[in-house]
Amino acid sequence: MIKVMIVDDSAVVRQVLAEQLGKMSGIQVIATARDPLFALKEMERQWPDVIILDIEMPRMDGVTFLRKIMAERPTPVIICSTLTDKGAEVTMQAMSAGAVDIITKPKMGLKGFLQESNTRLADAIKGAAHARLSRMSGARSAPTPVTSAKLSADEVLARAPRSSIGGTTDKVVAIGTSTGGTQALERVLTRLPRTVTGIVVVQHMPEQFTAAFANRLDSICQVRVKEAENGDRVIPGQVLIANGGKHMLMRISGAQYRVEIKDGPLVSRHRPSVDVLFRSVANAAGANALGIIMTGMGDDGARGLKEMRDAGARTLGQDEPSCVVYGMPKEAMKLGAVERELPLDKIPEAIIGWH
């Protein structure tokens, strides 16, 4: 049973979240609190496995509380943030401080929104509960799978025959990640030079947050990092981050790689989906690609990475000890999609040395 604490200054949010979580098997809400100071008192009695945390609260803001928790007793934290530009910027600070995932809350229609987001909420909590954080002790059991319908990349694009791959010598790196990926991507991308091969990334993240995430990375990296726009070229020295709420595909146009941003159903329960990106890279680039699957809950990207390897691409997986959640790389390993596993800190030099 995963013990959850909800910390939010909105009584409505606390009530609706508690009601929805109470209906989920394997999850127990042990306490709710209207601000971090009340939460700390509750935590003296019983410490939660996962904390769902608002950002803007009286007496102590969520980021300050998060940093305090991570310094004293690291605990998986999911940020519950509003769909606003300001909310996105502050949420990125929280992710950098150690939060493992984000769930969103609209200003209007909260109850209906959360009821429709049951699968996403369950995935976030179960992924967080199995996160490895520094100074956390004790092994955890394997994640409980979510049993909702799961669509494949076939819903967005067909798998192309190898003979259809266009003629170009341009290279591309495709990266897919989820829970724990914001910190992992920062550690990788900040160590890459401006001359590095063009990179395309899917990080599971809600819409309106990917732009803030890309902007933050751009401010601390040598490479240019931006939220992808339809038609953007994949060029050396630039990293394109998939938009939250949209699929990102890579196409070949003449001798150039470009990205396509499009709507579509959830694939492997995600949009953007790593499977969709990886399949498109397999179709367009074949052996000119390097695919990397990193920390994350679930199996999105495993089949797509296998398709990349089958098309001649080189493939890497983040190793278990360095993952926050060894889910996506593990599933890719099971399928034979991963050529070799590397610790997170070895991935930048593998990208630089690949040609």
Q: Catalytic residue, from 81, 178, 268, 273: name it.
A: 178
Compute the distance between CA of residue 153 and CA of residue 301 in angstroms, rounded to an integer: 10
Q: Where are the extended beta strands (E) located within 157-246?
A: 172-177, 199-203, 224-227, 238-241
Query: Which string of DSSP letters, residue by residue, matches 292-350?
Result: EE-SBSS-TTHHHHHHHHHTT-EEEEE-GGG-SSBSHHHHHHHTT--SEEE-GGGHHHH
Given the residues 204, 232, 270, 299, the one annotated as active site: 204
Please name which of 90, 117, 89 lies closest in space to residue 13, comparing C-alpha atoms. Answer: 117
Which single residue is written with the structure tokens 């007793």? 73
Q: Which two tokens stand for residue 344?
A: 């997170």
Alpha carbons within 13 angstroms on the beta-carbon side of residue 44 total 5
Of residues 35, 54, 232, 300, which has the active-site annotation? Answer: 300
How many other C-beta atoms can be found within 10 angstroms of the C-beta atom of residue 125? 24
Give which of 102, 151, 157 is closest to 124, Cα–Cα.
102
The upper half-sphere exposure of residue 132, i.e. CA atoms within 13 Å in the direction of its Cβ, equals 17
Residue 34 to residue 65: CA distance in whole angstroms: 13
Say whether 163 is catalytic.
no
Phi/psi of residue 215, nearest 5 degrees: -65, -40
Contact 104, 78 (CB under 8 A): no
Judge whether 204 counts as a catalytic residue: yes
- Is there a contact between 243 and 270 (Cβ–Cβ < 8 Å)? no
Q: Which amino acid, one-letter code, is at 275?
A: D
Q: Is 117 a catalytic residue?
A: no
Which residues are the active-site residues?
178, 204, 300
